[in-house]
Amino acid sequence: MHGRPCLDFDPQALDEDGHLLPADRRSRRSIVCTRSFGQPQHELEVLQEAIAAFTCRAAEKMRQQHLAAHLITVILGTNRFKARSGPATASTTLTLPVATTDTGELLTAARNALQRLWRPGTSYTRTGVLLCGLEAADNIQASLFAQAPEQRNRTQLMTTIDALNRRFGRGRVSYAAAGVNSATAVWKGRSAMRSGLYTTSWEELWQI
């Protein structure tokens, strides 16, 4: 009415019977994982580790929603008050051959995207990963050159990694590219002044 849609016809907002899903059950159009650094970073190896950690986390979120990504965007940000030329934020997007849920494939693409963005001598204050072009994981169109057994093995590997991390804690099983201990990585944001994780961490429960 009056140019306004009366119903939401977004396929991702409907269930199998065509009924509108509650907001908390609708699939996202994109999944992002981004963070500001505790201090500016300029070394490629440090940025690669940060991007890998964010890619792993974004991929995990995506699989929780039973989605697959066809596009991945890597974002790098500099201090906008100190930028001498060019934009304070730069990004590049790569299109994957087929939509994927595989963290390994996403890591390869993210690394290639970062190589295009990184400029020697530039200090970066923020980075992030955006997964978009999302579709239902069950609807992935396999590549003609892909081997079915290998795809099944990779899918099972992702399922196993996610199950272990749910059981033993996020990040307990991950890729080496994301760092051995991302909790203490030099690119992590400053946390000395943060509030305690009293409701989410056993180690930080109040003791009386």
- Regarding pTM above 0.85, the answer is no
Say what the pLDDT of residue 143 is: 57
Whether the Cβ atoms of residue 124 and residue 77 lie closer than 8 Å to each other:
yes
Which region, left, alpha or beta, applies to residue 160 given φ > 0 means left and ψ of -120 to 50 means alpha? alpha
Domains and CATH numbers, the chain: 11-138+145-163 (3.30.1490.100)
Residues in the chain: 208
Say what the pLDDT of residue 112 is: 96
Say what the pLDDT of residue 139 is: 78
Q: Is 21 exposed, middle or buried, given 0-12, 13-18 or 19+ CB atoms closer than 10 A?
A: middle
Both tokens assigned to 36: 């500001």
**10-residue stretch averages of pLDDT, the chain, 208 residues long:** 42 46 58 90 93 94 93 90 67 93 95 94 92 88 60 82 84 78 66 50 48
Q: Is residue 32 helix, strand or coil? A: strand
Say what the pLDDT of residue 60 is: 93
Distance CA 56, CA 111 (A): 12
